Structure 1
Amino acid sequence: MRVTKLKENQIWAFYENMILLKNSSVFAFYEIKSMVANTMSLLEKEKLKVSVASVINDLHPFGDFEINDVPMTRDLIAIFEELSDRLDPKDVYRNLAETIFKKTLNEIYETSGVPFSYKHYLVVPLKSLHISVDLKSVVKQAYRDTKQTFMEGFGIYEDIDENWYEKYLPQRQVLESRLSLLHYKPLTIQETIFLNLLQYRRGLSLDVDSEIKQVQSSIENIDDVNITIENVNVMKLSNGDDETYIAHYPIGTLPRNISHIHIVERLKNLNFPVESKIKAKFVGTKGFWSIAGQTTRAQDKIKNAVSEDMEAGDSANQEQLDDFYLLNDLKDKINAKEKMLHYMHTLIVTGESIEVLKLKLDMLTATLEDVGVLKASADQIYLFYKNMFGETLEFWDKNFIQKVTVEGFCENLFFVSHKVGTDVGWYIGKVDNEVTSWFGDFRTALQSSNNLVLSDLLQANKLEVNGKVTNNPHVLITGDTGNGKSFAAKLIVVLHTLLKCKLLYIDPKDELKGQFLAVAQELEEQGLYPELVAYIRSINFVSLDPTKKENVGMLDPIVFLPKSEGKALAKSLVWTLSEKDDEKDTALSSALDKVYDEKEAGEQRGMLDVFEELANSDKERIQHFGSALLGNAHDSTLSVVFSRGEHKGISMRDKVTVIGIKNVELPSESSQIEMTDSERNGLVVLNAIGYFCKRFGSADIAEETITVMDEGWLFETSSTGKKILNDIKRLGRSQNNFLIVITQSVVDVNAEGDNTGFGTVFAFREENHVAEILDYIKVPNTEETYKWVDNMTMAQCIYYDTFGRKERITIDGGFFPELSKLFATVKVKEEKDTYSWEEVS
């Protein structure tokens, strides 16, 4: 049946973040930005509650307020359009990026439905009949309201003073001074209109800009929606061809102990949107109808009940004793002049059918099992209109009212979201709200969350990004083998290569080249995804395998470095092989000068020519020195570093370069005093690679570069490797260089004397280092946090972002299966057309 509107729209006018109601009340609207209180950090949450309680107490002079958590649709198309502005302009990268965008959208909408995120709003009256301290103003305002109602009965309306807002601006300024502990933002007039419009459009699709313009043209359009009642007590909203069912579930009862109840935070664990609306009013602590009076009468009632029980030979039950104790505690708080509140908390849910509403109610009550969530079937229309903005609690509102101190009220935990990552970035997975284990079923974990994780690591170095707690651009990815670390790392790396940056990937196992080229060949044969094939073919793969002739001299200092830099590196490499003294150093300098001069004259030259120059010296000692170097360089690992310049060497001009290292043996920290020849040769190669990495990251400070060190633990096994890592890390922000280290454990990167650290961490499960993970991401080690990390399953990690947020996330590798084949770390059967996440992680 059609419902006659029980209450017409009460809004008379909008100005910036203020609304004027027909009773002359004015309300101001603010968005409160989410504050960092990580899921598992009770200490951070307690600090946040203290801050919020301080602000709420300061709102006492305003009498009423409303806190509203509104689920807003995430416009992924707009997000990806903004991200596309950061893409490399070349077609090979843009074409693949567009395919990834489309695949991502399809995956999210098919598996999760419409994505959403929560925004927090605080609404406070700037003028109300209930809080005026000017008796004349009260009488005058009451007269105006009565007069206006009478005149409207005859179709006579008063005009609005077009400057009505001016007398409220000082009050708004006072209010904002009291909100200083919160990160607040006054709404624009468009945002204010939209938020009020949304009260009548929940669950309906709408053209936001068009609807706002309609309201601006005529404010009566704000409630232009059909409201019907079905099945006696279910409300249905419809707007043209679109319709939705809406249900209001008020909180009926709270547990006796509301410490850490965190209702508002717990709602974020649901994978469907739930709007949380709280209407609150400060109440007096004195008088018959005050909380103090009600508390005294309640205690008297308990005393009488206990006396009757004792007369009947029964003792007081525990529930009576608990209630009496809590009432005493409440009286103590009142006597201590703590401010008291009455509030009504309503949870609003929409669905495409009555059955969907019932299912959501079941999930809602299961999530809030310790709270009395009421169906309130007979009160749906009342709750619909009572929860409109501008409505305040009145003395006749008796149902669903909670009575608490401000401190108790803030136990709901307001203005917190379980967000991690960036507002604009690549989709990489979803936040996991669980502490328990999914036992390998990461797909269910993904389906159980609608909290998307986006990531653009390059934002770490941008100054205009608000809310960051660090500008450290470096990224650490850790975890035991088999938990998805390598898959996630390569996914993140490939996605970021499509942006405006250059990337160098050090691949100690030389795995990427074979896997990437095999996928390219397979796709070419099948005629699939030519854009992905073109991307793979664009990568400069360099395999530093000394057994292959084409790799000779790829890291020769004479070949790829000018004299100003090459001499220093060449000397460093030589003194790794031989003991340095002044005579040999002088001879080496002269030989390098001569060979560099010949190179600059157009001749083909390399380090072997330097050694030959030494071997032809007039001095016997220098001859032996040169001959020894020549002997070591032939048919050994050193051939990739020492040559005659027959190959052009590694180029730094390519956008994406992957350097694979094969047959290189490195010494352990303990064996560097007595190294084998193979280990010493390995250090020479490592030094040359390290120098190339440093030069790559600092060649052009205006260009963003990413250096990826896979198997980072290999660089931590020697002092040389550690120095290389630390030198690259120090390039950092000043040189626009981002270092990504992929390693097996957070223990690998706790180097003494290194204060640079990592601004972003993806910590996958480490069976033997749970406590070390917690320590590294600065989360207290408790039984609950230990489970949080230890119960992570495959594809899950703790994401610690540059905003200081730490959440458990599930990496989504299913949105583009053909792309995921690039990240295989195990041999897969050739006859298979599809790959499971398990096989490629």
Structure 2
Amino acid sequence: MNKVDFENRVISVHDNLALRDDGSVIAMYEVPASIISSMDVEGKIKFKKKTEAVFASLAPNLSFDIGMLPVPINLEERFGALLEDCADDTYDMALYFLEKTNEDLYGSIGQLINYKFFMTIPLKSFEVSGDIKQMLKDAWGRFKEKAVAVVRQTLEFEMNWYEAYDKANGDLELNLSLIQGRKTTKKETGFYQRVDYLRGLNYNRDEEIASIESSVQNIDDTVIEPLSNGVIGLKNSYGKSLVKALPIANMPNVVNNIHLVEHAQKLPFPIELHWKFHFSKMKGAFSLASKGERASDRIKENQIEAYENGSNQKGSLATARIILDEMTDGVDNRELFVNYLATFVVAGQSMREVNYYKKIIQSDMKDIGVQVVSGMSDQLYFFYKNRFIEQLEEKDKYCIQAMKLSSACENLFFTSQKIGSDIGFPIGRIDHAVESWAGDYKKALASSTNAVFLNLFQANKQGIAGKITDNPAFAIVGQTGEGKSFLTKGLFLCHSLLKALTLYIDPKNEMKAQYMKIKAKYEADFPKMEFEIEQAREAIEDEEQLYWVIRGIEYKYYKPVVDYINNIHFVSLDAKEENNHGALDPLVFLHGDACKKISVKVTEELLGEKYTKEDKFEIAFLESLDAVMSEREKGKKVGLLNVFERLLDSTDEMISTRANLALRKIKNSQMELVFSHGKNSAVDMDARITVLGVTGLNLPKADEKITSDHKESLIIMYALGEFCREFGERDRTQETIIFVDEAWFFNKTEIGASILMSMKRVGRSQNNFLGLITQSISDVETEDDSTAFGTIFAFREPTETDKVLKYFKLPVEETTQAWYDNMTKGQCIMRDPFGRTARITVDFQLPEVTVLFDTVETKMKNTKVVA
């Protein structure tokens, strides 16, 4: 086994600096993961070049380490923060939804994690005398505790050892700023020396930090036992675990775009990945050039021998010659070369678990040409060598990879896959695949451990690091039947639980019926629920225990879901019911210029050229409208019908005739929702959650020309659009969110497009979040940044592959086209306000909730039978 010092070598920590027992110092930095889409080829190339530049600046330090660690996500804490923003009237539903999704995530994924990257770099400015160094070396093994006490007193209180490193540490910080490297704090520096001894254990982070602060000797306060089956056993007060190091023995000859980090993070369980780098010597007998010359001689001799003997080694020798020539060219061009040790580390509770991890890692890495070995007899060496405090040295020979620095950067360090919000509702998982799941979205979910969380209200908030847009508008586009409606209704439900006014425009009027159907189904079991609660009250005296039992019973019968439905204000506008007449009349719910503009637009749609061709009629209409609006301001109940009725009295026959025509068109039609006498109230804008449906709309299809049959419906939708604008802008201090289904129709006419633009412009300053649900990516394209979309979801639309990729600023090539075209139902491409893009599988997890989103019903019994 390779020799290594098994003891904890840290004797003092100051901020991001750790002093070792031999007097040397390492500096620790955290490098935040840059989020680069798996399809962003150009972004990856640029980032690898940036990483190479940073690493090249570290050559004077001779070596450096990188550690990729799985850091647990405290989901309970995050959901607790989200609950603080949930409204009182639906709080029970929010609590139920988050508790149940939390249980489901832990059950299906296990502990959720983020990957964090850390670097340690040795510093060279140490100015401690040789006597102290020798004292450390001599005393450490025999008088550990006494030596630590003496040295601490000497270095910290008499010499302030860390002050000698201020300049070197400052220069290092400047070099790492290109990749946003951040000095770790004293607590972090100590703690991340400790985590090596806590692998696979459920530890308390705060307690561990406190223990290290009391004494750095506690860093290795764990019993470490090498076991005969090629693993390390860890044992401390938290329990026991098994740890296995899996070093990379060989990389492929060609490492271009190998992107090891990206592949490692796709593994369905947490792993650590450590790299120990050492820069190769460029001069001297042991330099890379000298080694290359000796290797060249050996290859030449072997080639001659193989040729004479007809050996089948000729191919491998030719490959070796090519690699050596490339290395020689690199040396001649003064390129930097590195040796590095790369090691996977896994932890588990049983050998079966650890061996499963080993098998999956070796299999997945083999697919990209990387050979991972077990290192059976060298587990202690790899355990201790991969500590952050250790550096790779010339004497380390086992599993060392030698290559150009630029080639090493093909690992794609400091990157990760992430999209959405840190604190938000779970909406699905990132899908790392390019291939198709053949319609089985459950397989796509099972293949990923990267959960996606979202809070749309984050989009316009200031001071959030990394956000590239404050645009609150969001869009959901794609072909019918791919999952648009499911996602939309899931987002509506989640965001209606927050402290905001929520409006859903439901042109098909399908939501109310489904919600009422499920409500009735659940309420049918409430007598059983009440009986069980009464039994519990009789049997349990402890109030706290009784509370939890009753809550469990209510959850069992989905009472929070029913209570939530009862808090939704469902409005179904049916022109056949007289009490709905005028619910969308501009003279009922609008004032001033806004009222006048939309009144003109709906009249223009109603009469067409008969309104616009004759200035005389247009003037008369505007005069009548002004008069009626004036009456309205004086308190009289009036509506758009009053405007036309005034025109009936005109002495000009053309004007009175056209007014009569308008009244006849309106009578007994859907347009009575918009044209009225103002006797009824408008749709309530103060209800916290509103679903506004309209019965009997006949909207044109996306590719269909508008006919006279569609005009009535378009007029109603125009009024709905103006209602949305007013809903969103009337109170700047109140967040409002609006979901507009079938929004594509607005772009069918110039009037609709202008209304849509006014809706989008409400936006950020008014705290309005407008969501458009439409079919084509063309419906959301805009050259005006103020009306762009901060968040967008694109479901599959086979005829728009290239157009969608261009909209997402992704390269249009075979791989990206397959990535998009191979999406199965329930999958979409998502871009968030941080500019991050990913393919995700939508999942709201709870069947008792997602049943609310169903839109297709059938009485046929055999429609689900698979052929």
Give the alignment's TM-score, normalised by structure 1: 0.92
| Aligned equivalent of 2:512 | 513
Alignment of 1:251-400 (within 5 A): 251-312=248-309, 317-369=314-366, 370-400=369-399
Moved more, 8-17 or 715-724: 715-724
| Aligned equivalent of 2:193 | 196
Q: Identity over aligned residues, as a percent?
A: 36
| Aligned equivalent of 2:598 | 569
CA displacement, residues 339-370 of structure 1 (integer Å, 9 cap, x when unaligned) = 22111111100111111111111110111101
**How far does residue 767 in structure 1 lie from its aligned partner after superposition?**
2.7
**1:579 alignment partner AA:** Y
| Aligned equivalent of 1:152 | 143
| Aligned equivalent of 1:688 | 719
| Aligned equivalent of 2:659 | 626
CA displacement, residues 620-654 of structure 1 (integer Å, 9 cap, x when unaligned) = 44433433332222111210011122210112212
CA displacement, residues 310-331 of structure 1 (integer Å, 9 cap, x when unaligned) = 3446697121111111111101
1:710–1:742 Cα contact (<8 Å) kept: yes
**How far does residue 297 in structure 1 lie from its aligned partner after superposition?**
1.1
Give the SS at the match of 2:66: strand
Give the SS at the match of 2:167: helix
| Aligned equivalent of 1:816 | 846
Partners in 2 of 1:241 and 1:204 — Cα distance?
6
**1:611 alignment partner AA:** F
**2:678 alignment partner AA:** G
2:761–2:786 Cα contact (<8 Å) kept: no
Give the SS at the match of 1:739: strand
With over 3 angstroms needed to count, the CA separation of the structure-2 counterparts of 1:667 and 1:427, relative to structure 1, is closer
1:225–1:239 Cα contact (<8 Å) kept: yes
With over 3 angstroms needed to count, the CA separation of the structure-2 counterparts of 1:574 and 1:717, relative to structure 1, is closer
| Aligned equivalent of 2:530 | none
Partners in 2 of 1:113 and 1:13 — Cα distance?
36
CA displacement, residues 648-692 of structure 1 (integer Å, 9 cap, x when unaligned) = 0112212222222333345689998xx755444333323222211
1:667–1:680 Cα contact (<8 Å) kept: no
| Aligned equivalent of 1:800 | 831
With over 3 angstroms needed to count, the CA separation of the structure-2 counterparts of 1:236 and 1:185, relative to structure 1, is same
Alignment of 1:453-468 (within 5 A): 453-468=452-467
Partners in 2 of 1:639 and 1:352 — Cα distance?
70
| Aligned equivalent of 1:702 | 733
| Aligned equivalent of 2:532 | none
With over 3 angstroms needed to count, the CA separation of the structure-2 counterparts of 1:619 and 1:314, relative to structure 1, is closer
With over 3 angstroms needed to count, the CA separation of the structure-2 counterparts of 1:195 and 1:37, relative to structure 1, is same
2:70–2:272 Cα contact (<8 Å) kept: yes
**2:227 alignment partner AA:** E
With over 3 angstroms needed to count, the CA separation of the structure-2 counterparts of 1:103 and 1:591, relative to structure 1, is same
With over 3 angstroms needed to count, the CA separation of the structure-2 counterparts of 1:150 and 1:662, relative to structure 1, is closer
Partners in 1 of 2:774 and 2:230 — Cα distance?
58
**How far does residue 82 in structure 1 lie from its aligned partner after superposition?**
1.9
CA displacement, residues 778-836 of structure 1 (integer Å, 9 cap, x when unaligned) = 111222112211111122111122222211111123x221110110011167999xx99
Moved more, 593-602 or 35-44: 593-602
Moved more, 152-161 or 441-450: 152-161
Give the SS at the match of 1:347: strand
Partners in 2 of 1:153 and 1:676 — Cα distance?
91
Give the SS at the match of 2:268: coil
Alignment of 1:57-76 (within 5 A): 57-76=56-75
1:547 aligns with 2:576: yes
1:652 aligns with 2:651: no
CA displacement, residues 20-65 of structure 1 (integer Å, 9 cap, x when unaligned) = 2222222221111111321122221111100000000001122221
CA displacement, residues 557-577 of structure 1 (integer Å, 9 cap, x when unaligned) = 221123454233323332332
2:191–2:212 Cα contact (<8 Å) kept: no
**1:191 alignment partner AA:** E
Partners in 1 of 2:785 and 2:616 — Cα distance?
36
**How far does residue 475 in structure 1 lie from its aligned partner after superposition?**
1.6
CA displacement, residues 243-289 of structure 1 (integer Å, 9 cap, x when unaligned) = 21100011111111111121122101101011001111112112221
Partners in 1 of 2:229 and 2:502 — Cα distance?
63
Alignment of 1:582-621 (within 5 A): 582-621=615-654
1:611–1:630 Cα contact (<8 Å) kept: yes
2:79–2:423 Cα contact (<8 Å) kept: yes
| Aligned equivalent of 2:751 | 720
With over 3 angstroms needed to count, the CA separation of the structure-2 counterparts of 1:689 and 1:153, relative to structure 1, is closer
2:13–2:186 Cα contact (<8 Å) kept: yes
Alignment of 1:197-216 (within 5 A): 197-216=194-213
Partners in 1 of 2:723 and 2:238 — Cα distance?
63
Q: Which runs of 5+ in 1 are unaligned?
A: none
1:640 aligns with 2:673: yes
Moved more, 286-295 or 365-374: 286-295
Matched positions, count: 821
2:21–2:140 Cα contact (<8 Å) kept: no
Give the SS at the match of 2:151: coil
| Aligned equivalent of 1:733 | 764
CA displacement, residues 725-781 of structure 1 (integer Å, 9 cap, x when unaligned) = 222222222332222121223244346889833222211222332222222211112
2:702–2:745 Cα contact (<8 Å) kept: no
With over 3 angstroms needed to count, the CA separation of the structure-2 counterparts of 1:534 and 1:248, relative to structure 1, is same
**How far does residue 99 in structure 1 lie from its aligned partner after superposition?**
0.6
Partners in 2 of 1:93 and 1:515 — Cα distance?
19
Give the SS at the match of 1:579: helix
With over 3 angstroms needed to count, the CA separation of the structure-2 counterparts of 1:751 and 1:285, relative to structure 1, is closer
| Aligned equivalent of 1:79 | 78
**How far does residue 610 in structure 1 lie from its aligned partner after superposition?**
2.6
With over 3 angstroms needed to count, the CA separation of the structure-2 counterparts of 1:628 and 1:101, relative to structure 1, is same
With over 3 angstroms needed to count, the CA separation of the structure-2 counterparts of 1:783 and 1:564, relative to structure 1, is closer
1:539–1:658 Cα contact (<8 Å) kept: yes
**2:143 alignment partner AA:** E
| Aligned equivalent of 1:773 | 804
| Aligned equivalent of 2:790 | 759
CA displacement, residues 568-594 of structure 1 (integer Å, 9 cap, x when unaligned) = 332333233241455434443443344
With over 3 angstroms needed to count, the CA separation of the structure-2 counterparts of 1:787 and 1:218, relative to structure 1, is same
Q: What is the aligned-residue RMSD (CA, Å)?
A: 2.7
1:306–1:315 Cα contact (<8 Å) kept: no
1:98 aligns with 2:95: yes
**How far does residue 180 in structure 1 lie from its aligned partner after superposition?**
2.0
Moved more, 770-779 or 295-304: 770-779
Moved more, 243-252 or 607-616: 607-616
| Aligned equivalent of 1:559 | 588
Q: Which runs of 5+ in 2 are unaligned?
A: 527-556
**2:671 alignment partner AA:** L
| Aligned equivalent of 2:855 | 825
**How far does residue 183 in structure 1 lie from its aligned partner after superposition?**
1.8
Partners in 2 of 1:202 and 1:65 — Cα distance?
23
Partners in 1 of 2:132 and 2:340 — Cα distance?
26
Partners in 2 of 1:329 and 1:123 — Cα distance?
30
**1:682 alignment partner AA:** S
| Aligned equivalent of 1:223 | 220
**How far does residue 415 in structure 1 lie from its aligned partner after superposition?**
0.6
Give the alignment's TM-score, normalised by structure 2: 0.90
CA displacement, residues 288-312 of structure 1 (integer Å, 9 cap, x when unaligned) = 2122221111111100111222344
Give the SS at the match of 1:450: coil
